[in-house]
Chains A and B, each alone.
Chain A
Amino acid sequence: MSAKEEILGRIRSALSDAPVAEQTPREYRKSSEMSEEELIEMLVDRLVDYKAGVEVIESAQIPKFVAAKLKDANSVVYPHGLEQQWLSQLPKGITQIADAPGARLSVAQLDATSAVVTSSQVSIAESGTIILDGEPNQGRRAISLVPDHHLCIVPVSSIVQLLPEAMPRLTITRPLTWISGPSATSDIELERVEGVHGPRTLDVLLVRGL
């Protein structure tokens, strides 16, 4: 008998009393009524609590803020589907590298890159969570992981209050990365310390009109 057959057989005999579970109640909150301003305020509050840098800006200001946030970088990687114009004001000295199909950066190249700029799919105000799903403007998982500084663009139209509101906006079979602040640990005396293996700096631009 294969291990699979045997385990399934064990399950059948373990459940020989044929338990019937109750209907699943789903009384928890599934929708919210928050205004755009309230959503922004809540998300900012959560992100600041996680020690992320946050700016609320207009879409026309993106190039200026991207340049300001990345002024200390030597090189910046971006996913090939990112709006090129967002990087248009980066100082000349900063190398810009696109990670594109057929022209992927190696792990060593990513490690030598100081920052990454991506967009994002959906953000949850209540928990301060930004979700990336591998769309061409967000890129492969490795690019938002290896560089030590992640600058993430969050369109205000992509903010919801509750996690259940975010679910319909996700394609679950894509590789998903949920980000709530820069990397952190609570492993020493259960006190949170920011900055371990993931990007130690997370900057977020919340963009109105996007």
Chain B
Amino acid sequence: MTQVFLGMPAPGHGNLFEEEPFPQAAHRELGNTQMRKNLRHATHTIRDKRLKVVGELPDWDDLRDSGSAIKNNAMANIEELLLQFEKNFTARGGIVHWARDASEANKIVTELVKATGSTEVVKVKSMATQEIGLNEHLETEGIEAFETDLAELIVQLGHDKPSHILVPAIHKNRTQVRDIFLKEMPGVDPTLTDEPAKLAEAARSHLRKKFLASKVAISGANFALADTGTLGVVESEGNGRMCLTLPETLITVMGIEKVLPQWEDLEVFMQLLPRSSTGERMNPYTSLWTGVTEDDGPQNVHIVLLDNGRTRALSDRFGRTALNCIRCSACMNVCPVYERTGGHAYGSTYPGPIGAILSPLMTGIEAEDNGSLPYASSLCGACYDACPVKINIPEILVHLRGEDVDAKRDTHKLPTQMDLLMKGGSWALGKGKNIGLLEKALPLGRLMAGKNKKIKKLPGIAAGWTQSRDVPAPPNKSFRDWWSDEKESK
């Protein structure tokens, strides 16, 4: 029998990697107390706002159920939907390109920009172009990319990396933003204060000329509607509208998982997304366009449909629902780990709980240090409760931890410490008698702890746990012993 090779899902490339084990990265980031303060303030502000606007809708859970089912259906029928989208977008004058991975997408975009003769592009915030490292690539090709979203601008001017998918500069407070503007923004008013309204105004005058003169814009997309060939961008500042309306050429880079079956599905996602992300009833601006409209907006309209590891994530039947993500960022805003480590600790473009599953799903668990990401969680479940499309992140984290253990076993050919721990765990939890036996060893732990009743360093792989915190000494009596003593004394 000859086997027809139809293309196996391949791992993604680009900015999807944790370059050092998460605990190590987290340990360094935890040392940045200013960042932790900023993050705490911002995530708590947004949590309260989100709860308030979500609480207003009596049918919030019905919307989540619909959103989750629509996405599951879209992923089950993604081939058909992409073809349908292509047909409709093309019929209305748009041009569709397909990119297997980051470098192919970068190449396509570069060629499209070069064909216009322009050496400058304006950009609307887009996770996909961040993921493929488009700006850096364009730079090597002599094309300058200007980020126009305020937070992206702060990151770009500060020669920094995004740390949040919605508010990439969330790790900076207003004073730090002002300092970056004063240092890096050409022609900035030297008396600029750190009032957010003044900072926004500085960004407005800085970018205005760029918008009005630009010939080429690059965007992402929040949705693609298969049955009409429509694309949508959700934003706040109007920089999106500027980029989507004024230039002659518009190039959109979008992950294939963004396709939705029908345009009515918008009524679900446009209720779920704004309330979950900025905690607003609706974001200030949403733009929808279907190919080219004569006499209105860009007349050369392209879309690059990007795989870059998405089909790899799709092939994982226990993990594929991670592709349902609408990038609202609610999961990171409620995550106790993210709140303390910040987004940089995750290495990848996608931080927080969703990043901890999406990055390894797209690259493979064995890539770089992505195997450490699924452990960046206490499995508290707050992300699952907040997720507007009900992605069961904790369950996928556990599944990926299993994959990581398997992958390490395969390379070491020996049971790893983790294996032994897991085995030990199942032995201990398997029978009440066994855990009782283990508890007899508790006083040993007290010995390890010494006088101040803190264990500073656990042995073996458990050392990671004590890298950035101390463990309180165990009690001299287990709960089970205490309980039976209590009962007897009654």
User: Do A and B originate from a single complex?
Assistant: yes
Interface of A is mostly: loop
- The interface residues of chain B lying within 8 Å CB-to-CB of A181 are 284
Given contacts A198-B237, A198-B238, contact A7 B284 (CB under 8 A): no
- The interface residues of chain A lying within 8 Å CB-to-CB of B246 are 107, 142, 145-146
Given contacts A11-B314, A27-B65, A190-B46, contact A128 B281 (CB under 8 A): yes
- Inter-chain CA distance A104–B239, complex, in Å, is 22
Given contacts A10-B7, A21-B69, A197-B207, contact A189 B38 (CB under 8 A): yes
- Are B278 and A173 neighbours in the complex by a CB distance under 8 Å? no
Cβ contact of A7, chosen from B196, B230, B307, cutoff 8 A: B307
A155 within 8 A of B: no
- Are B236 and A185 neighbours in the complex by a CB distance under 8 Å? yes
- Are B297 and A141 neighbours in the complex by a CB distance under 8 Å? yes
In the complex, the chain B residue whose C-beta lies closest to that of A10 is: B311
B120 within 8 A of A: no
B109 within 8 A of A: no
Kindly supply a per-residue 1/0 record for chain A positions 29-72, scoring 1 wherever the CB is within 8 Å of any chain B CB and 0 otherwise: 10000000000000000100110000000000000000000000
In the complex, the chain B residue whose C-beta lies closest to that of A179 is: B285
- Are B287 and A177 neighbours in the complex by a CB distance under 8 Å? yes
The size bracket of the interface on A is 35 or more
- Inter-chain CA distance A17–B320, complex, in Å, is 12
- Are A17 and B317 neighbours in the complex by a CB distance under 8 Å? yes
A210 within 8 A of B: no
Q: How many A-B pairs fall under 8 Å by CB?
A: 272
Given contacts A107-B212, A179-B285, contact A21 B75 (CB under 8 A): yes
- Inter-chain CA distance A183–B225, complex, in Å, is 26
- Are A25 and B66 neighbours in the complex by a CB distance under 8 Å? yes
- Are B76 and A20 neighbours in the complex by a CB distance under 8 Å? yes
In the complex, the chain B residue whose C-beta lies closest to that of A127 is: B282
Given contacts A23-B69, A189-B45, contact A197 B270 (CB under 8 A): no
Residues B254-278 near A (CB distance < 8 A): 256, 263-264, 266-268, 270-271, 274, 278
Query: Would you list 11 pairs from A and B whose C-beta atoms are within 8 A, ordered by A residue?
Result: A1-B7, A8-B83, A19-B72, A24-B69, A127-B281, A129-B282, A173-B92, A184-B284, A190-B42, A192-B280, A198-B237
Contacts from B to A (Cβ < 8 Å)? 6-10, 38, 41-43, 45-46, 49, 58-59, 62-63, 65-66, 69-70, 72-73, 75-79, 82-83, 92, 97-100, 104, 148-151, 154, 167, 169-170, 173-174, 177, 196-197, 199-201, 203-204, 207-208, 211-212, 225, 228-230, 236-239, 241-242, 244-246, 256, 263-264, 266-268, 270-271, 274, 278, 280-290, 293, 295-297, 305, 307, 311-312, 314-315, 317, 320
